[in-house]
Amino acid sequence: MAMLSYQPPLKSLTIPPVSLSNPKPVLFRCSLSLPSRTAVTSVEPQPVFSSVKAFAPATVANLGPGFDFLGCAVDGLGDYVSLSVDSNVHPGEVAISDITGNNTNKLSKNPLYNCAGIAAIEVMKMLGIRSVGLSLSLEKGLPLGSGLGSSAASAAAAAIAVNGLFGGKLGVEELVLAGLKSEEKVSGYHADNVAPAIMGGFILIRNYEPLELIRLKFPVEKELFFVLVSPEFEAPTKKMRAALPAEVGMPHHVWNSSQAGALVAAVLQGDTMGLGKALSSDKIVEPRRSPLIPGMDGVKKAAIAAGAFGCTISGAGPTAVAVIDNEEKGKEIGERMVMAFLKEGNLKATASVKRLDRVGARLIGSTPLDRVL
């Protein structure tokens, strides 16, 4: 049997909106392979606000057969970052003043070891900020190790906040690279969480060196709901990645490639049923990870039996994600999945039904710059 060795993605960006009405992708190409401490702007910008607050949504990575190259943003769940100019912080540096929300005791306030801090520092380096210091507060709306892009949401919110504070000088491609620097240090160099967290919608990572991202437009007139069921169980990304096969047989490679292609086509066509079918069809990653999440196989079967178009593991797990085109039906499916986690895995779980987030990370508040300063 022919075998393919798995190689982790190389580092390095291109981004297009793609739809049936606009079949030619528009790639936002970043030729920066940014090393640390490289400034993108030639002149240091000054803050245009004294403080800002940013939000970044949860994300579903992989979407079944799209391991490390497909992801989407989910509405209504995410992390918040508040950022302010602080004369007590050394110029050119960022200090984390407060962390609230989920699992705060597990997160470091040292910005060099915090997802939000790392991304904030990277954006400051890109902007060449040397004359002011920043104070950052992180509000965790997402639990750690949930499979919903918790680290990416923190990084995306911080990147957007720093960029917004200084007038939005950087483009989306640089912000994704800053988020990737954070992801690299925490869970690996993969953009299928941080890219949709920043950009919103469905994102295809076409290449990692240089980084090329393609925006896949799900038709606005079509209904799509994600049923997210999160058990009381933590699945660290590094541990779940360690379970992946070192080699992939050619038949499984061909199968997953065809299913990933079908999934992309379903997104562009607004075919929720086809999306669900492809999402459920991974033969490479899900079979290795599912046994590590108690009850996951039973949860998937329960979702399909309840009428879901498809179900898989969200990211590295343990959250299970199902898709449907009706919110009320989604709530019924979620209840069945919660019951299955308890019955098959002896795990309590919570369910929510969410729409696609088409916007991505954004500023949600700002305070005018103090004219006295």
Is residue 103's pLDDT more than 50? yes
Under a CB-based contact definition with an 8 Å cutoff, are residues 228 and 148 in contact?
yes
Nearest CA among 134, 131, 128, 188 for reference residue 158? 134
Percent of the chain residues past pLDDT 70, beyond the cut: 88
Residue range 177-189: mean pLDDT, rounded: 89
Predicted local confidence at residue 38, as pLDDT: 55
pLDDT per residue as tens digits for the range 57-96: 999 999 999 999 999 999 999 999 999 999 999 999 999 9
Q: What is the architecture, at CATH level 2, of domain 225-355?
A: 2-Layer Sandwich (3.30)
pLDDT per residue as tens digits for the range 282-298: 999 999 999 999 999 99
Predicted local confidence at residue 223, as pLDDT: 94
* pLDDT range class, residue 40, cuts 50, 70, 90: low
The first and second tokens of residue 178, run together, are 């800053």
Residue 258 to residue 270: CA distance in whole angstroms: 18
Q: Residue 296, Cα to own-chain centre: how many angstroms? A: 21
Percent of the chain residues past pLDDT 90, beyond the cut: 78
Strands (E), the chain: 3-5, 17-18, 49-61, 70-85, 94-101, 134-140, 202-208, 211-216, 225-231, 247-249, 310-313, 320-324, 349-355, 362-368
Is residue 168's pLDDT more than 70? yes
* CA 77 to each of CA 116, 142, 149, 234, 360: distance values in angstroms, whole numbers, following the listed order: 17, 7, 10, 18, 11
pLDDT per residue as tens digits for the range 243-283: 898 899 999 999 999 999 999 999 999 999 999 999 999 99
Task: Return left, alpha or beta for 295; rule: phi > 0 is left, psi -120 to 50 is alpha, else beta.
Answer: left
Predicted local confidence at residue 166, as pLDDT: 97
Residue range 366-373: mean pLDDT, rounded: 71
DSSP 331-373: HHHHHHHHHHHHHHH---EEEEEEEB-SS-SEEEEEEE--TT-
Nearest CA among 88, 87, 57 for reference residue 73? 57
Q: Please report, in angstroms and rounded to a whole number, the separation of the first and last CA atoms in the chain.
A: 69
In degrees, rounded to 5, the angle at the alpha carbon of residue 350 between the alpha carbons of residues 297 and 284 is: 30
Ranges of each domain in the chain: 49-217, 225-355
Task: Return left, alpha or beta for 117; rule: phi > 0 is left, psi -120 to 50 is alpha, else beta.
Answer: alpha
Predicted local confidence at residue 171, as pLDDT: 94
Residue 314 to residue 73: CA distance in whole angstroms: 12
Phi, psi (5° rounding) for residue 32?
Answer: -75, -5
Nearest CA among 205, 246, 145, 154 for reference residue 15? 205
Predicted local confidence at residue 369, as pLDDT: 86
Among the ranges given (95-104, 146-155, 217-226), the one the predictor scored with the smallest mean pLDDT: 95-104
Predicted local confidence at residue 234, as pLDDT: 82
> What CATH number belongs to 49-217?
3.30.230.10
Is residue 33's pLDDT more than 60? no
The overall average pLDDT reported for the chain is 89
Largest CA distance in the chain: 72
Predicted local confidence at residue 241, as pLDDT: 84
**pTM (two decimals):** 0.88
- Same fold for the domain at 49-217 and the one at 225-355? no
Phi, psi (5° rounding) for residue 216?
Answer: -105, 115
Residue range 144-168: mean pLDDT, rounded: 96
The residue type at 29: R
Residue 72 to residue 202: CA distance in whole angstroms: 4
DSSP 259-277: HHHHHHHHHHHT-HHHHHH
What b-and-e string marks burial along 221-230, b requiring 16 or more CB atoms within 10 Å of the CB? eeebbbbbbb
